[in-house]
Structure 1
Amino acid sequence: MKTPTPTRHTALGLFGVLVVLTMAADATPGIAPGVLLAAPVLASVPADPTSTVTNTASWTHPQSGMSFRCSTDDRGWFPCTTPVTWELDPTRAGRHRLSVRAVDGTGRQSASADYTFSYRDTLRALGLQFTVTGSIDGLAPGVWRPVPVRVSNPGPVTVQVTGLELRLSSDSTPPGCAAVTNLEVRQPQLAADTVLQVPARATVTLPAAGMSTAAIRLRDLPTVNQDACKNKSFALTWSGTAQH
């Protein structure tokens, strides 16, 4: 490609005044003067909203031999190729933006192809939800009874449960058998450096590798008449902590 050079034409005016007419030759062969360089056409873009920090987009261009420059979230432009992968800032408020420009051999740039989208932290929105269920019956004085525990994860990603706790209601239903006097609870135990992995939309039953289940026993109280505890029930309340 030849480097464009300005062309100068001179002519004498009616009163002998020298008039200089200057015209510039077009920079790109095959493209008429004043015609803008075509912008890239985005072919694939992140979902809106997206729940991933790492995102990818691709584009096409009607002319060959083009290079491209990109900008994310209205920051500085950088050389890029299709597809481009980048990480967004999840703490940024508002919508995110990807912009792509085409650049020809002379450095002429097209208008940008822009795409805006939002980021939603699915885990934060769900609050790392998981449910815990488990019950037991047939208690006998002095005998520990393990409580089968089921941990369910309704979310789209694996939850790592780091702790579980079981609480008993203070009195029975119908009332008359106080938990603090008559019952004892052994909490689930998590081995050191172990987390309970609960896959997305799945349920794990305890005991499991590295984690024991809860247990309950009716205290053996020889001096206390525990007939009041026969045919009584207690509400169990589960709580826990998790990470991802």
Structure 2
Amino acid sequence: MKIPVPLIMFVLILVTTVSGCIPSAPSSKDNAPAVLPSPTVPAPSTAPPQEEPAPGGAKNAAASQISTSDPSAKSHLQVPLDTATTPVDAVALPIIALVPLGDNKGYTVNSRFPIEGLAMEGTLLRQSPGKWLLSGQFRSDRASFAPGKPSVQAMGAMTPKEGGGLAVTETAGEMIITFPAPLPPAEEPKLPESKVIPFTLTLDAPDNTIFSIMLLPF
């Protein structure tokens, strides 16, 4: 029995059409949800925590480094000197300073005494070429303080002389002015008011003379 060709063509078209309308079922492998990798949790560290340096540790380390690498580090330390401290059993004496004035006119007299309540003030002025005048006053709140009259002498150096002994050789351009001025006892009662003791001295000396003043305790 022969099947007509048109029928065969119809069946092929029908099968092709029906098969194209049926959706293909997705594979179970494609529809499976994607599995994300689980995050890796870092294992806790077993190393001991780093200790923070104690305050000032860096300074101490630097100091130790300096002390070992620089042998002269101690020489950089500045130790204050207490000039007001008098050694035990030492005799404290007044300090007299001559402060130069301008234009080489002379000096002003400044003083510092080891006993409170005593002072010396004045000037040493050049009057004319080779002529000088020292004038001023002492102030004291102790009755026993009574400086004597000043005197002047050329400075000298002790040099050995023939046959033994020492000779005084004058030092050119240097003169010293001295006052006999024994200091009163520190425990002496103070006066109600300070007394004033004036002094004056005229002397001959070159204009370029170097002067100094000293108060003698006898």
* Greater share of residues in strand: 1
Fold similarity call, TM over 0.5: no
Q: TM-score, normalised by structure 2?
A: 0.25
In terms of Rg, which structure is larger? 2
* Greater share of residues in helix: 2
